[in-house]
Amino acid sequence: MRAPVNTQVFARIGIDLSGPFVLSATGKKYVLNIICWFSKYLISVPLEDAKAITIADALMQEFILKFGACTEIISDSAAAFTSEFYQEFCWLMNVNNKYATPYCSKGNAITERSFHTIQDVLAKMHLPYIACCYNTSIHDTTHETLFFLVFGRDPIFCADVILDPQTREGYAKTDVGMYKAQLIKRLHIAWQQATLWWAHAFLQMKRQYDKKERSHHVKVGD
């Protein structure tokens, strides 16, 4: 069992489609999950259908235009992801498209687990709120919130300002140069720690995997 290299935010992402669900009031019945393999940051997009053009448009509008291009996308072998249109889209975006092993969810396990997390409370009109809760919760692997690993700060909610009005004022009084330096330093430290925790979690998974794996001796002519 070999570990993929995850050291940059949004360099490698996993995508997966879930549905159809009961049609929502806004005409959506599928959900596309896009998740960063390094930070585990989740982007959930409700879709009207599971067509390749719809998925490509969601990737462009909700991921690439907001967070920039990635270098690799991991998906399963669903028809939409193997279609000629989707393949050409990845080629135009200069993205290396890889498929997880069929019938083996471990190949894209990070994205699979994100669906397990939100499906119990999934409702199309509440999806952005569910994704926000997911992204602002501390992840078991990285020991940081997904939001912090991407933006270098924790989000400020209305309750934070009500409980401590100086929370918002603190940002307004911060020197731009100092804020930039602090942001870079915080991100550098957080990414280093996340990488170490990710490697530790992988070693634990590897030990469990190796316990079940048996070596096979193949001879010439078998």
List, for residues 125-139, the tens digit of each pLDDT value.
Answer: 567 777 887 888 877
Evaluate whether 149 touches 190 at the Cβ level (below 8 Å). yes
Is the predicted pLDDT of residue 180 greater than 50, yes or no?
yes
The pLDDT-based confidence of 73 (bands split at 50, 70, 90) is very high
- CATH tag, 1-135: 3.30.420.10
The pLDDT-based confidence of 117 (bands split at 50, 70, 90) is low
CA dist 77 and 114 (Å) reads 18
**For range 6-16, the mean pLDDT:** 85
Evaluate whether 167 touches 156 at the Cβ level (below 8 Å). yes
CA dist 64 and 62 (Å) reads 7
Higher-pLDDT residue of 175 and 195 is 195
- CA dist list (Å): 183 to 15, 80, 147, 211: 29, 39, 13, 42
Region(s) of the chain under CATH 3.30.420.10: 1-135
CA dist 21 and 70 (Å) reads 29
